[in-house]
Structure 1
Amino acid sequence: MRPVDILRTGAGGLRSRRARVVLSALGIAIGIATMVAVIGLSLSSRADLLAQLDRLGTNLLTIQAGKTALGEDAKLPKQAVAMVRAVGPVQQATATGDVDASVRRSDVVPQERTAGVAVQAARLDLLRALGGRVRSGTWLTTAGERLPTTVLGAVAAERLGVLGPGEKILIGDRWFVVVGVLAPVELVPELDRVALVGFTAAQHHLGFDGHPTMIFERSRDDAVAAVRDVLARTVSPGSPEVVKISRPSDALAARAATDEGMTTLMLGLGAVALLVGGVGVANTMIISVLERRQEIGLRRALGARKGDIRLQFLTESLLLSALGGGAGAALGAVATAAFALVQGWTPVIPLWSIGGAVAATLAVGVLAGLYPAARAARLHPTTALNAA
């Protein structure tokens, strides 16, 4: 038989049982769609994380004081930022400091009702060092550093009900004018929940002692590890063990690793769905052989060889799997693109995942069709023609 005759015969067998073919192909489609979507979404998410890391940089280190040997809270020295800047490869160093003051929307709100918003003193170069941006209004300025002005984090503004610059909030017992609201700070999300005031204003109006609570440092990419090794001794030469150093970008890297693990799990689930679909195809083909014994006997009587019968049913199995695989690949690609766009990611649908889906589909088709095809080829023409 010519290849075109084999395809025509196989397709004819599928057209005669359309409902069963659709249901069998659905199992294959679900498995393939799951695998394509999982790969696409994982790569889209990881690409977004890597782009985020490239944008924010991996050279930011944070320095904060831990506990002393007696269990008391240690303090960073007031000149700690200057000490960090003295390290050769350091390019930027800035700081924030915790301020013991309540934040209220108005004086009718009890002092204990702070809406979960804390107060921190901030140096003027903080926003530039963190790669943050102001969503509305302005950042703290040199001229206004001594004045009772504040910039709210994104969450803090929402919790306090502040719509934008020009409004007033009560910090401690003094009214502060909101001059700006920050966009979410991706590397340091803790700043989303605070009211930031200038160091000088915090000292003059809120009793801030001037000790930084957290220092943010950026250095050359090739020197991050070396700088990390000397920061504790630089900031606290007498007791470096009380200084904690961390890299905020590690959290994003950990998310990428977690996504990779989840991808493996979901691919396993997709493979199980594909296996179930393959079992469904094999079951469909076996039933087809039983129902078409007279057709097989007639073809054998007219001169068809065992190999022709075997190839016919194997082709039907391949076409059935290919139908489900094609639909599944298309569905997976559409689902990936739609979900990625909703999440604000750049959709990534690698061609190798589509190629892998096609290869997996053909493999399932061959495996699912081998036994039914061999069983059909073994039927004796006389026995097949006499079948009820």
Structure 2
Amino acid sequence: MVWLRDLLSDLVIDYSGRRSRVLLLLVAVALSTGSLVTAVGVSQMAASQIDADIAASGTDLLTVEIAPAAVDDASPDVVVEEAERPGEGASAQIFLPEALERVRAIDGVRAAGLRLPMSDGIHVRRNADADESSTLGYDLGSPVDVFGATSGYLAAYHVTPEEAWMLDAVDPYDVALVGEGIAEELGIPVAAKELTGYRIYVDDHAYEVIGVVSSGPAAASGVVLPYRTALSTAGTDRDATLLVRTEPGASRPISEIVREAVLPARPDVLQVSAAIDLATLRTGVNEQLSRLAGAVGGLLLVLTVLLIANSMIVSVMARTAEIGLRRALGASSLDISVLFLADGGVIGALGGLAGSALGCAATVGIAIVNGWSAVLHPWYLVAGPVVGLLVGIVASAYPSVRAARISPAEAVRVE
């Protein structure tokens, strides 16, 4: 322990005689390590904020569809059930009613419902018997979008008309909801609280208009029929989409289990929308910001190494006589090398400690200015001194070797 005490004593004497140099080096190390801590801290906060923003905006909507590879698969285990509407043909179903109930029972699911598009070329009009020139109608290639849906599908878009329950009847009613744009074209009052006596014809089949949809996917040019009506017409639900609205931030875990809830026997024939891709995006943003922070901090550390190394080389040249005297009094080359390594290490550790404090304060300040939640990991306080110590030792390596090679004879000639 005597040698350690002597080493510290030598460093204190040296620092007291070169206060300006020591202060300059401490400031350089503090700024570089502080910048590194700040850059990493800000990148972590920005990534967390982006993560929260993505989770809170739009990622709570999932779609479950039959995978394209399964559409042409006619094997019996893909067609789950043959559901028959009274008086009409059988329909091959994959999205069964009990599957919809299982999805709704998942924690974090706000609403879930089915949508099945009708075939192209469907004609929509108000009048049953008028000639083509006097009817108000369009085929599906124009703006009209005719599809069957359950009430849960509309609820997932925050559209909840009082009459929507009629879309879910097992034996479907001949009813329809129309978008505002279609209602205006067909002369159906948009602002009426109750609609009676208004009827539209979809491919010559009459449907009673029970409401006008002013928001959601059918707001502009949609006609919504009961889901089972579309299913009976199509004969299969292979083109159906299950829409799931989740609690904010719950889409990723739900996306991992929703296929099993819908189709436990064959979850592989289903595909879920981009919730997992968004999670990958969030991870990528975090990684990119961390790389940017590391690059900026690394550049600052390299500059600090060069500054300390240059200062230490100048110190070696200025202390050549002292080094020669120490060697003449019995100090070995290793003792001289350790002295300069310790010099750089102590300056680096002290500067790194100050840099950690500076970086944490700057991180909190930036969070306050931007209204973010401050993210400070405990390792930030440890990283500064450790990085500073390593920087100081690395920067002192060459000067310490150079100092250790100075012989007493060279020192006498320099003096």
**1:93 corresponds to 2:107:** no
Task: Report the equivalent of 2:289.
Answer: 262
**Residues 11-50 of structure 1 aligned to structure 2 (within 5 Å):** 11-47=12-48
Per-residue CA deviations over 1:144-166 (Å, capped at 9, x if unaligned) read 99xxxxxxxxxxxxxxxxxxxxx
Find the counterpart in structure 2 of residue 332 from structure 1: 359
Deviations 1:315-343, CA, capped at 9 Å, x for gaps: 21112212321222222222222233444
Query: Normalising to structure 2: TM-score of the pair?
Result: 0.53
Contiguous gaps of at least 5 residues in structure 2 = 66-94, 105-110, 116-149, 165-179, 192-209, 228-239, 247-252
Deviations 1:45-92 (A, max 9, x none): 45556667888998741369xxxxxxxxxxxxxxxxxx6865253213
| Equivalent of 2:258 in 220, 224, 244 | 224
What amino acid maps onto 2:341 in structure 1?
A: L
Q: Which residue of 1 aligns with 2:249?
A: none
- Distance in 2 (alpha carbons) for counterparts of 1:217 and 1:11: 69
Q: Distance in 1 between matches of 2:414 and 2:279?
A: 66
Q: Which residue of 2 aligns with 1:348?
A: 375
Alpha carbons of 1:55 and 1:208: their partners in 2 closer, same or farther (altered >3 Å)?
closer
CA contact (8 A) 1:60 1:247 kept: no
Q: Indicate which of 289, 299, 323 corresponds to 2:316.
A: 289
Aligned to 2:89: none
- Seen in structure 2, the aligned counterparts of structure 1 residues 223 and 296 have a Cα distance that, compared at 3 Å, is closer
TM-score (normalizing by structure 1): 0.57
Written as runs of structure 1 = structure 2, the 5 A alignment for 1:310-321 is 310-321=337-348
Counterpart code for 1:270: G
* Percent of pairs with identical residues: 29
In structure 2, C-alpha distance between the alignment counterparts of 1:252 and 1:340, rounded to whole Å: 24
Residue pair 1:124, 1:141 contacting (<8 A) in 2 also: yes
Instruction: Map 1:1-388 onto structure 2 (within 5 A).
Output: 2-47=3-48, 60-62=61-63, 86-87=98-99, 88-91=101-104, 92-93=111-112, 200-202=211-213, 208-210=222-224, 216-218=243-245, 221=254, 223-226=257-260, 246-248=273-275, 250-388=277-415
Q: 1:93 to 1:285 in 2, by over 3 A?
A: same
Indicate how the Cα distance of structure 1 residues 385 and 225 shifts in structure 2: closer, same or farther if over 3 A, else same. farther
Cα deviation digits, residues 21-60 of structure 1 (max 9, x gap): 3443444334422432343334444555666788899874
SS of alignment partner, residue 375 of structure 2: coil
Structure 2 vs 1, CA of residues 277 and 176 (structure 1 numbering), >3 Å: closer, same or farther? farther
Q: Which amino acid aligns with 2:12?
A: A
Inter-CA distance 330–95: structure 2 relative to 1 (3 Å threshold): farther
Task: Specify the SS of the correspondent of 2:373.
Answer: coil
State how far apart, in whole Å, the 2-side matches of 1:332 and 1:86 are: 56
Q: Does the residue aligned with 1:350 lie in a helix, a strand or coil?
A: coil
1-structure distance, mates of 2:62, 2:43: 28
Count of aligned pairs between the two proteins? 299
Distance 2:344 2:261 in 1: 63
> 5+ unaligned residues in a row in structure 1: which ranges?
65-82, 97-122, 131-138, 146-169, 178-198, 234-239
Give the letter for the 1:12 counterpart: I
Structure 1 residues 59, 374: CA separation in 2 closer, same or farther (over 3 Å shift)? same
Counterpart Cα distance in 2 of 1:127 and 1:283: 70
